Amino acid sequence: MERTSRESRTPESVIIVLPLPPRVLSPNCPAGTRGGRFARAAAAKRYKQLAESATVEAAAGMAWEKCAVKALFYHKTARRRDDVNHLAMLKPAYDGVVLAGLVPDDDRAHLRTEGAEFYVDAKNPRVELVFTREG
């Protein structure tokens, strides 16, 4: 999983760019087999570590009590997408952001999700997490 280098920050917002989450993290991906559970756990661990390092790089020294996050998904093709499934795949990324120290927890009191938006970028599929400070 390679990360693109387009991270930016202001005192009130941080953009973290990650590759699209692995398909195995989708709630629609069956994990009923022994290998499936291990594959999902390994993918979640890798994605969490990737998000943690991207957050440390993009938001070094920042720590907020509360923020909102909007997920911008860039896929190779234009298709109908299920925003609920896409947002569920980002749970390990939010855990990585918490580990990096941007927010104290990923519960509703500290991290409010604003939903997902979908765009097409055939050359650079990715997800951009836009964190905005609140309160």
pLDDT of residue 30: 76
d(CA 1, CA 18): 8
Write down the residue that tokens 């952001």 correspond to.
97
CATH architecture of the domain with range 8-133: 2-Layer Sandwich (3.30)
* Average pLDDT of the segment spanning 122-134: 97
pLDDT of residue 60: 85
3-state secondary structure of 5: coil
Chain segment 63-102, per-residue pLDDT in tens: 999 999 999 999 999 999 999 999 999 999 999 999 999 9
Higher pLDDT, 127 or 9: 127
Residues whose CB is less than 8 angstroms from the CB of residue 87 and which lie 6 or more positions away in sequence, other chains included = 71, 113, 115, 116
The domain spans of the chain are: 8-133
The model's confidence at residue 34, banded by pLDDT at 50, 70 and 90, is: low
- One-character DSSP codes across 7-42: -EE-SSEEEEEEPPPPGGGSTTS---SHHHHHHHHH
pLDDT of residue 28: 85
What are the distances in angstroms from CA 110 to CA 10, 70, 84, 90, 103? 19, 14, 20, 16, 7
Residues whose CB is less than 8 angstroms from the CB of residue 38 and which lie 6 or more positions away in sequence, other chains included = none
Lowest mean pLDDT: which of 10-14, 90-94, 126-130?
A: 10-14
d(CA 8, CA 101): 17
pTM score over 0.75: yes
